Structure 1
Amino acid sequence: MSEAAPAAYAAIPLISCILLAVLTAYAAVAARRAGRRVRPGQIAWPAVFAALLAVPGIWCALGLLEAACGWVTLLAYSAAMLALGAGTLVRRRLFALLDRMGAPSAHAVRAARDVAALALSSVLSAYALELAWNDAFTELRLYYFAVSVAVVAAVTVLLYFLGLRTGVLASLVPVACTALGIAQHFVLSFKAAAILPSDLLAVGTAAAVSAGYTYVLTERIVLSLFLCGLSLFLLSLIWPGRPADARRLAAGALADLALAGAVAGCLAAAYGSVGMEEDLGLVYDRWMPVATYRTGGFIPSFIAVAQDLPIPVPEGYSDDGARDALARLAAAYDAGAGASPERAEAVAQFEELKPTVIAVMDESFADLSVFEALAEAGYPGTVRLNSLPDALQRGALLTSVHGGGTANSEFEFLTGDSIAFVGTGKYPYQLYDLSDVDSLPRQLAGLGYATHAIHPQLGGNWNRETVYREMGFETFSTIEDFEGEPFFHAGNTDRSTYDRISDLLSEDDGPQFIFDVTMQNHGGYDAGTVPEDQLSSWAPAGVADENLLAQLNVYLTCAVASDRDLASFIEDLRALDRPVVLVFFGDHQPSVSSALNDALYPGEDPQAHQWRIYRSSYLVWANYDVAGNPQASATEEIGAAGLAAQVLHLIGAPLTDYQKALVASRAEIPALSAMGYRGADGVAYALDAEGPYRSLVDDLRAIQYLHFARRVR
């Protein structure tokens, strides 16, 4: 956490807030004494500026205003907000002057005033959005900033007419722009990511898990709030004047609504016909969307991502062609791995034993010893997971998300469908009805398995209550089932979820599929969130940022705790007198690894740079000797979407043709994610790169479109 401004500085904006409240009260009393009615705007507009004064004041009092925002900045900001707020108290006098003017002159002055206010407000709002978060704003091309202003202006004009040519509804635009800018600042700080359109559908989830972060207001945010205030003051000056009679009032209102409809139609037409990438030349970096946001601006980039949300039809796609590709890969499996003696032994054993399958997706669990400097500093990695001698398979798991987006990792695992072919920035849990999509719980339920999901958080997070029901889970244990259970760092301990699994096993001796999504390692990783006596102190060479080191060690302490709980859970499963298969994997690396990556590998090739942080760890283990498998801890890289099919193959469970295709494709592409894929030649390829495996990638894209997109369109 950066150094905070002294709490005493809070007096500057808070005193200004009190003065504005006193001025507003005095103006209201004076109006009443003069026999004038106190109109709502006479209270509401100054109240807005009082709120803008209260925000930095309260943050400063809480020790959450950065020291760089010194008393001079606070004083200037407070004086400006006080003056603007007081200025709204005399707006009625300006309106009265216009009312006394002749009709033609008054109409001309009002029109000029409205045009100027709307135009200046649009520029200020677009600037406020970027200023709050974009430290590369000076590199933003004027062309893209003009696009931002144009979009903001169109929405502002729409609300101006909807508000019957007042500034009331239009004032929502600067507030929204400033709020988005501030939100983007925190998302960038905590997750090194951009706000994507699908994130707006997950705002409830974001709010539910936001308590682990520290929200420090920066000087840039305070300046953004100033621009918001200036924009609001300009809009407060917009007023159409008193209508001559009720008939003119009604006619004017109808005309305004018609114009609002016309503007809305133009906006919709422009969105549907003008592509940010194709027509305006914005280069959307699907590897790192935040890079696009920095150089293209928030609004153009956000629109570009939104226009990319529909799942694109693969080039040259046909259902028959996709079915042929699926049949070829399934046949290759049947003639190869599926026809091996080892697979036959495993199949016979599975039909007899029907082992319980437990899948644990561990929050932010990853082995960061992949960062050489950290390993050289003595960090041993996830020791217990790495040293387990009798795993069926383990290794690096390619993920399509980093620092967040947990639901996409579980979507890939539970469906076998990769975000690579759905689209970066899309969250299927939020966007699609998955009732008709093949899923692991529904598949195992068809084999007689009871199906249970566990997550010690709110059931509505990532829409899980609905999605799990659509996927075929029979029960779902949420935070309500963990009342009184021990906490560590950001949530209930991993161990507490394992105890819940043990309860389920003791309640039913039949085969079960249990899916456990843990919580304890969730970001942020501020100092003081783990016990001091457990806190690690690794210091890799090349990292000088003390704040980064502090967060890194908080995370590593969490990873050690998860590794320890996993080892304990495995020993519990060993002691069971029933066959159990355990699949354990991390959903993504922690957000702190992005800053670590940048510090240790500056100027690196972008693809190699991103590849390092889009990987976690996985383990497949059984408490019985799986027939046809040496259980010698084979190490293989795999993608999250291919993991479930591989597990079913290893233990002899029945496979669908789609799963057979996934397993067969690993002969040429062992691992695939939204970041790219690893070829059998050991080379990491970008998803759309030309190369020896491009034909197979195209086949997999078509097969998944048939398997997933055709069912959710």
Structure 2
Amino acid sequence: MEKLRNFYRKYLKNYLVLLFVIAVGIDLVIETLARHSLIQSVAFLFGHPLVSISNVLLIFAIISLSMLFRRRIFALVLLGMIPMAVGIANGVILSNRMTPFTVKDFSNLKDGAAIITTYFSTVTLILAIVGIALLVFGGVILFRKAPKLDRKIQYKQVIAVILIIGLLTVGVIKINTKTGVLDTFFANLATGYSDNGVVYSFMVTWIDTGIDKPRDYSKEEIEGIFSKGELGEDNIYTPGKDDDTDVKSKPNIIYLQLESFIDPTRVKDVKFSKDPVPNFRKLMKEYSSGYLTVPAVGAGTANVEFEVMTGISAKFFGPGEYPYKSVLTEKTCEAAPYDFKQLGYGTHAIHNHRGAFYNRNKVFANMGFDTFTCLEYMNNVMKTPKNWAKDSLLTEQILDALNSTEGSDYIYTISVQGHGKYPTEQVIENPAITVTQYQTEEQRWAYEYYANQIYEMDLFVKELTDTLSNYDEDVILVMYGDHLPALDMTEDSMADGSSIFQTQYIVWSNFDMKKKNMDINAYELNSEIMSRLGMSVGMMNKYQQNYKDDINYKQNLKALSYDMLYGKRYIYGETNPFKKTDLKMGVKDIKVTDVVKIGENYYIKGENFTEFSKVSLDGKILKTVYLGPTILALKEEVDPEDASRMKVSQVEKNKEILSTTE
């Protein structure tokens, strides 16, 4: 104890030195939470001193603000909790997914709250709430009991010191970024955090958003990307006018994005009692297939579908950014649905999860969809042990969309069954597939759960292809996994030598198509499919089909993406030709045919009700009991004169109204 006192008197009595030591300690805790290992955290601290000093200085700059307060201890604790909160949130998130915590996650708080019970047990949530309450209580006690400075603060000196610390921090970071010690772009977000430290990386996701403006951005530069006359005499793209819409073959085109779907046998050191994906494997041999490079690992479904539909690489945006949560909430964007509408297609989106998740119920109107059928419009929903909807019901939903129009249809289907978190204890009794070789017990149960979900998804793929084989119209079905599952896979984990950013895809059809195997980026998939069908529609498709081998291909692709979403839209003649669609929620009409009073209770008769159907009156949701797809019971008193005005609304888990009957 005496040695500690002497150490304090000699080295820590100076408040700035104390702050720096605390900053080092906070950084060590944050990195330990991220790496789930104190040894790895210490190794990173001393093995990468220039990176570590950048992170420590950022924390140091934050907690140095405590010098402005007389209650320095209280202010220090409060300010120190800012980076600590980031570290704790990151550690918790990394225990459930492979993508670290970013500033963009704040825009997902509503979505996160809706699925939090899927990731955490009730006991864990209660403990978390108790912990937060104790922290608040401790903060109040600290505010009351912590000592105050007994001298007047010299604000001019203190502010000068804080400014010097801030300038030192900025200077060190600038030097480290220019010399390549710190990265400014993260090709892999998880690796970026691991290589650059949590605090710095989190800051980058805050500062770096949107698509960077090209250095030579101008009307001449954008219009010069295409050859003269390629987009008409004016060299700008006008939908319809500059498209070749006289296409002989217009098959129905279905995209099926399979949640966390990969071939589990691609993973080293894990063996299964039987093949988890026999049908998908068979189809890969018989039809066009290959590796699909996606922008996400373990999470990020929305960015994969964004790439496939828009032709824009999600890597053009800031680290961890979701366009569905940013620019697409405000603007329309040229996307596959708009392109197919030029050819007379009906356009439909299907997702067996919440319609408001990632703002899809709003964003899809800005991408050209006519309809969006989400979980709230589906019946006979079966759930996994982790409470995700199973995919088998999607066959019926796809057929409903196909049959909803007389012409051809473009359908983008997003599955959810394979979603994590994957349990580290046994939850499936008598599983169809067992893990026969594994490294740890936790790995065994996580892979066993995953393999059984993938096995059922594979059976769904067979059911869907069998059904579409007998459909009386031509159909192309493009199937692929959206990303690797959140099972701590690394490059070294993959037995086939593939990247952790590669899933697999199949182009299936119920008519003869030439087999063509190739590896491809997700943002190029749609242009490739349209090219095989002889479709030259849409500015982005034209560019990708004609310039993929150009030396400036990616540079110009990024420039066009900036111009479309953030620039002056020179490529469209400085206008926005894409109008927001009147998105219809659900393919089937939900109707109220009669309101009947029996005794003291009202019953609403109609069509296509689901468990998410609620009786509403003047926008107010009333207590409702779902009795079946044709009848609802009202468990609330209403004025008889108001009964005739009652409607039915589809209400999602977070109480957001998705649609209401006319």
With normalisation by structure 1, the TM-score equals 0.63
Per-residue deviation, 1:261: 14
Post-superposition Cα deviations, 1:494-513, rounded to whole Å, max 9, x if no partner, equal: 11122222233344434333
1:155 counterpart residue number:
62
Residues 130 and 422 from structure 1, CA distance in 2 versus in 1: closer, same or farther, beyond 3 angstroms?
Answer: closer
* Matched residue type, 1:137: S
1:573 counterpart residue number:
468
2:415 counterpart residue number:
518
Contact 1:160/1:167 (<8 A) preserved: no
1:137 counterpart residue number:
41
Per-residue deviation, 1:402: 0.9
Per-residue deviation, 1:486: 0.9
1:631 counterpart residue number:
513
Q: Tell me, in whole angstroms, the C-alpha distance in 2 between the residues paired with 1:265 and 1:504.
A: 63
The 5-angstrom pairing of residues 186-205 of structure 1 reads 186-205=92-111
Per-residue deviation, 1:531: 3.8
Residues 385 and 578 from structure 1, CA distance in 2 versus in 1: closer, same or farther, beyond 3 angstroms?
Answer: same
Contact 1:358/1:515 (<8 A) preserved: yes
Residues 149 and 474 from structure 1, CA distance in 2 versus in 1: closer, same or farther, beyond 3 angstroms?
Answer: same
Contact 1:391/1:619 (<8 A) preserved: no
2:199 counterpart residue number:
299
Percent identity between the two aligned chains: 22
2:223 counterpart residue number:
323
Does structure 1 residue 546 correspond to structure 2 residue 452? Answer: no
2:612 counterpart residue number:
none
Q: Which runs of 5+ in 2 are unaligned?
A: 1-12, 232-243, 571-662
Does structure 1 residue 496 correspond to structure 2 residue 396? Answer: no
Q: How many residues align?
A: 528
Q: Tell me, in whole angstroms, the C-alpha distance in 2 between the residues paired with 1:358 and 1:475.
A: 14
Does structure 1 residue 645 correspond to structure 2 residue 495? Answer: no
1:400 counterpart residue number:
295
* Matched residue type, 1:501: I
Higher helix share: 1
> What's the secondary structure of 2:505's corresponding residue?
strand
- The match for 1:455 among 336, 344, 351 is 351
> What's the secondary structure of 2:348's corresponding residue?
strand
Q: Tell me, in whole angstroms, the C-alpha distance in 1 between the residues paired with 2:343 and 2:167.
A: 48
> What's the secondary structure of 2:430's corresponding residue?
helix
Contact 1:525/1:554 (<8 A) preserved: yes
1:710 counterpart residue number:
567
1:286 counterpart residue number:
186
Contact 2:391/2:457 (<8 A) preserved: yes
- The match for 1:612 among 499, 520, 540 is 499
Contact 1:402/1:590 (<8 A) preserved: yes
* Matched residue type, 2:531: H
> What's the secondary structure of 1:454's corresponding residue?
strand
- The match for 1:556 among 446, 451, 454 is 451
The 5-angstrom pairing of residues 6-155 of structure 1 reads 122=23, 124-134=25-35, 135=37, 136-138=40-42, 139-140=44-45, 141-155=48-62
Per-residue deviation, 1:534: 3.1
2:248 counterpart residue number:
349
1:309 counterpart residue number:
209
Q: Tell me, in whole angstroms, the C-alpha distance in 2 between the residues paired with 1:571 and 1:149.
A: 59
> What's the secondary structure of 1:194's corresponding residue?
coil
Contact 1:326/1:658 (<8 A) preserved: no
Q: Tell me, in whole angstroms, the C-alpha distance in 2 between the residues paired with 1:489 and 1:651.
A: 41
Residues 230 and 285 from structure 1, CA distance in 2 versus in 1: closer, same or farther, beyond 3 angstroms?
Answer: farther
- The match for 2:371 among 459, 475, 481 is 475
> What's the secondary structure of 1:466's corresponding residue?
helix
Contact 2:90/2:100 (<8 A) preserved: yes
Contact 2:71/2:146 (<8 A) preserved: yes
1:17 counterpart residue number:
none
1:179 counterpart residue number:
85
2:599 counterpart residue number:
none
Does structure 1 residue 410 correspond to structure 2 residue 305? Answer: yes
Per-residue deviation, 1:285: 7.0
- The match for 2:538 among 656, 662, 665 is 656
* Matched residue type, 2:227: A
> What's the secondary structure of 1:445's corresponding residue?
helix
Residues 563 and 256 from structure 1, CA distance in 2 versus in 1: closer, same or farther, beyond 3 angstroms?
Answer: farther
Per-residue deviation, 1:394: 2.5
* Matched residue type, 1:557: N
Contact 2:54/2:173 (<8 A) preserved: no
Q: Tell me, in whole angstroms, the C-alpha distance in 2 between the residues paired with 1:695 and 1:300.
A: 32
* Matched residue type, 1:479: L
Contact 1:398/1:639 (<8 A) preserved: yes
Residues 499 and 702 from structure 1, CA distance in 2 versus in 1: closer, same or farther, beyond 3 angstroms?
Answer: same
Residues 414 and 133 from structure 1, CA distance in 2 versus in 1: closer, same or farther, beyond 3 angstroms?
Answer: same
Residues 287 and 423 from structure 1, CA distance in 2 versus in 1: closer, same or farther, beyond 3 angstroms?
Answer: same
Per-residue deviation, 1:411: 0.5
Q: Tell me, in whole angstroms, the C-alpha distance in 2 between the residues paired with 1:464 and 1:272.
A: 42
Residues 169 and 439 from structure 1, CA distance in 2 versus in 1: closer, same or farther, beyond 3 angstroms?
Answer: farther
2:337 counterpart residue number:
441
Contact 1:397/1:616 (<8 A) preserved: yes
Q: Which moved more, 1:524-533 or 1:564-573?
A: 524-533
Per-residue deviation, 1:585: 1.9
> What's the secondary structure of 2:34's corresponding residue?
coil
1:685 counterpart residue number:
none
Residues 530 and 494 from structure 1, CA distance in 2 versus in 1: closer, same or farther, beyond 3 angstroms?
Answer: farther
Q: Tell me, in whole angstroms, the C-alpha distance in 1 between the residues paired with 2:414 and 2:93.
A: 22
2:430 counterpart residue number:
533
Q: Tell me, in whole angstroms, the C-alpha distance in 1 between the residues paired with 2:375 and 2:567.
A: 35
* Matched residue type, 2:474: P
Residues 469 and 166 from structure 1, CA distance in 2 versus in 1: closer, same or farther, beyond 3 angstroms?
Answer: farther
Post-superposition Cα deviations, 1:261-285, rounded to whole Å, max 9, x if no partner, equal: 9979996997799646237942457
Contact 2:52/2:197 (<8 A) preserved: yes
Residues 143 and 387 from structure 1, CA distance in 2 versus in 1: closer, same or farther, beyond 3 angstroms?
Answer: closer
* Matched residue type, 1:646: E
2:316 counterpart residue number:
421
- The match for 1:368 among 264, 282, 285 is 264
Q: Which moved more, 1:309-318 or 1:468-477?
A: 309-318
Root-mean-square deviation (CA, aligned residues, Å) is: 4.6
Contact 2:284/2:506 (<8 A) preserved: no
* Matched residue type, 2:248: Q
Q: Which moved more, 1:453-462 or 1:269-278?
A: 269-278
With normalisation by structure 2, the TM-score equals 0.67
* Matched residue type, 2:429: E
Per-residue deviation, 1:380: 4.2
* Matched residue type, 1:349: K
Q: Tell me, in whole angstroms, the C-alpha distance in 2 between the residues paired with 1:124 and 1:647.
A: 53
Q: Tell me, in whole angstroms, the C-alpha distance in 1 between the residues paired with 2:275 and 2:514.
A: 21
> What's the secondary structure of 1:581's corresponding residue?
strand
> What's the secondary structure of 1:472's corresponding residue?
coil
1:10 counterpart residue number:
none
Residues 575 and 269 from structure 1, CA distance in 2 versus in 1: closer, same or farther, beyond 3 angstroms?
Answer: farther
Post-superposition Cα deviations, 1:458-479, rounded to whole Å, max 9, x if no partner, equal: 3332222232122122333333
2:509 counterpart residue number:
622
Structure of greater Rg: 1
Higher strand share: 2
Q: Tell me, in whole angstroms, the C-alpha distance in 2 between the residues paired with 1:612 and 1:530.
A: 30
